[in-house]
Structure 1
Amino acid sequence: MKWTDTLDIAIELCEAHPEVDPTTVRFTDLHNWVVGLPDFDDDHTRGGEKILEAIQQAWIDEAR
């Protein structure tokens, strides 16, 4: 997965952290969780605020 695979990342985060409310996640934690996903294979420094916002929104939508 790459940073641009926001929906795939959101699904993986939903499965990895089912007890977490995605609206309460800090971007530092979100970044660490994304780069820690087993299928994630992208430059860790490319995960800026805009992409993290998109991932968080996709996760919120997926959690509903």
Structure 2
Amino acid sequence: MQLKWTDIYDIAVALEEQYPDVDVLHVRFTDLWKWVQNLPNFADDPNRSNEKILEAIQMAWLEERA
């Protein structure tokens, strides 16, 4: 399955698997933006991201951890 920026929850699960020890609330959006693009199944235009999407990914990642 190819991930796109709109696949918020799938991205959050993948990030949790890739970075289980990261303090989710202290991740910079610039780092999060890079990490999402480096996920193995990610295939979307980097310019389609914005702060709202990154924040949604961060919150979904936090929920995934709970």
Give TM-score, length-normalised by structure 1: 0.97
Report how far residue 21 of structure 1 moved: 1.3
Structure 1 gaps, min length 5: none
Identity of aligned residues (%): 58
CA distance in 2, matches of 1:47, 1:37: 15
Q: Which runs of 4+ in 1 moved over 4 A?
A: none
The AA in structure 1 aligned to 2:17 is E
The AA in structure 1 aligned to 2:33 is H
Give TM-score, length-normalised by structure 2: 0.94
Report how far residue 47 of structure 1 moved: 1.1
Partner of 1:24: 26
1:11 aligns with 2:1: no
1:36 aligns with 2:59: no
Structure 2 gaps, min length 5: none
CA distance in 2, matches of 1:2, 1:60: 19
Partner of 2:47: 45
Q: Report the aligned-residue RMSD.
A: 0.5
